[in-house]
Amino acid sequence: MVSVKFGNVSKRYEDGFEAVKGLNLEVNDGEFLVLLGPSGCGKSTTLRMLAGLEEVTEGEISIDDVTVNHLPAGARGLGMVFQSYALYPHMTVRDNLTFGLRMVKGKDRLSDAEMASRVKEAAMMLELDEHLDKKPKELSGGQRQRVALGRALIRRPKVLLMDEPLSNLDAELRHQMRQEIRRLHDELGTTTIYVTHDQIEAMTLADRVAILDRGVLQQHAPPLEAYQQPANEFVQSFLCRHLDDLVDTANTLLRPQADAQKGA
């Protein structure tokens, strides 16, 4: 069982700016949680504190009931997918996938046979079988993001962290990758925390959303509950109005087509 807890966690920088304020949040085992909010709300800082890339000013972060505040990033058992693909251009897809595994030394290092088995498994899941010997420049944007996702998954992380991973893709690819990410989560059951400012992305991916504003948690609930029962005016404005506008736009676009079909 792998759960994540933030206990009264704050992040304050040297200039006095407080990016995250007294965050209390629990992510259940196997849950897909989306950290959602506008730019500067503290969602990426929250993820980076969990990953060990930012120090916690106050409070406690635990993974599987073990406090990790002072553990280095590599000792936390996490996989992370960034906004940029961060692939090594001179390496093949196969070598990019196994890079993290090959950096492990001593008794924890996997055998070559186990690495090959994991590459085969990841390549099949992500439909990269025919691209293992290619370099990143030979791949599409969607394929590169699949490699970045595979590189994180191949390490069998306790928790998978994703920070705006689809923002560099066009609308059609984003839609395809959203479906792929959710399918993989349902198949693997890895506890996942995903950062985005995109309300549609949050609504389609999340088991629950944690909506932040100015470093403060505003609501933590299933997406439909947050939409139908917003906790305050900010959630109403940020989440509900935007989605209502999309629904109105879709209805406006579809209405002439429906009227034409009736007339026929």
> Per residue in 123-152, pLDDT tens?
988 889 999 999 999 998 888 988 999 999
Q: What percent of the chain has pLDDT over 70?
A: 91
Find the mean pLDDT for residues 36-59. Answer: 96
Burial 17-47 (b: 16+ CB within 10 A, else e): ebbbbebebebeebbbbbbbbeeebbbbbbb
Note if the pTM is more than 0.85.
yes
The one-letter code for the residue type at 80 is M
Average pLDDT score over residue span 99-121 = 87
DSSP string, 55-89: --SEEEEEETTEE-TTS-GGGS-EEEE-SS----T
Distances (CA, A) of 49 to 20, 43, 78, 116: 10, 10, 12, 32
- Helix 141-153 to helix 93-102 angle (10° resolution) is 20
